[in-house]
Amino acid sequence: MTALLTLDGVSRRFGGLKAVDDVSFDVNESEIVGLIGPNGSGKTTLINLITGVHPATAGHVHFDGHDITRQRPYRIARLGLARTFQIVQPFQRMTVVDKVAAGALFCGHASDVREARAIAREHLEFTGLADMAHRPAATLTLARRKRLELAKSLAMRPRLLMLDEVNAGLNPTEIEEALAIIRKIAEQGVTIIVIEHLMKVVLSISHRLVVLHHGQLIAQGTPREVVADKRVIEAYLGAKYAAGNPGVSN
């Protein structure tokens, strides 16, 4: 397996705060990697560094042989790196189909708006949103808006898809549906990074986990290894629990 994405000593400071501190890891082709960590551990900042929203203050990011460390976000997107947003808000006043078409038009190699809309309809079909193609994006329920984000990202024909809490705020049935879609995407050969709060979700879907705490990478490995890691338990449950119950997972 070859590494599709390589992070090498990546750091980001906001003033005196080290939001991401010297993080290095690889993501291999066709892998599903779970990126986890307690609130404020720097998960979303790390995604912003990879996608070029914030430039890294130190370190390097390589994607598919390109150094994308200080690239403009639109160039990174065109290389095949797509993300969904944790807080679903972009393009609220657009119709559902146009929002997805935007992804196809600017990244998915559609030649004109008409073709982009046709591609968008396929992705709406795939994510089960075909019925609401002409509704304003803002009128959708949270679960559907999250699926719309997925459809938009897929329309960009990504090689690497980063899902920032696509399951937060969903009920168990909705989570099952979302996971089914994510698995189907993975089957198409798309590499996926899942950022997630819900341990159950991330354990069930990821091949490998990367754990952040206070901006630092504290553990990586298979889900089984990671949940048994003393530092991970410490980060989530406190030092006392880690000392008293070695190897206990959630």
Per CB under 8 A, residues contacting other proteins are: 51-53, 72-74, 77-78, 82-83, 85, 89-94, 98, 101-103, 105-107, 112-113, 116, 134, 152, 156
Tell me how far apart the alpha carbons of residues 145 and 131 are, in angstroms, rounded to a whole number. 14
Nearer to other proteins, 78 or 207 (CB): 78
The one-character DSSP state at 136 is B
Nearer to other proteins, 98 or 196 (CB): 98
| The two three-digit tokens of residue 98, written as one number | 């146009």
Least distance (Å) between residue 9 CB and other proteins: 24
Least distance (Å) between residue 113 CB and other proteins: 6
Least distance (Å) between residue 85 CB and other proteins: 7
Least distance (Å) between residue 40 CB and other proteins: 21
Tell me how far apart the alpha carbons of residues 130 and 123 are, in angstroms, rounded to a whole number. 8
Cα 236 from chain centroid (whole Å)? 21
- With the CA atoms of 192, 195, 198 and 199 taken in that order, what torsion angle do they form, in degrees rounded to the nearest 10? 70
Helix 96-106 × helix 142-155 angle, to 10°: 20
Nearer to other proteins, 117 or 208 (CB): 117
Nearer to other proteins, 75 or 200 (CB): 75
Nearer to other proteins, 74 or 241 (CB): 74
Least distance (Å) between residue 241 CB and other proteins: 39
Q: Are 68 and 79 in contact (CB under 8 A)?
A: yes
Nearer to other proteins, 193 or 201 (CB): 193
What's the length of the chain? 250
Torsion 107-56-235-17 (CA) sign: negative
Cα 87 from chain centroid (whole Å)? 12
Nearer to other proteins, 78 or 230 (CB): 78
| The two three-digit tokens of residue 145, written as one number | 């808006």
Tell me how far apart the alpha carbons of residues 146 and 236 are, in angstroms, rounded to a whole number. 26
3-state secondary structure of 245: coil
Least distance (Å) between residue 74 CB and other proteins: 5
Least distance (Å) between residue 101 CB and other proteins: 8
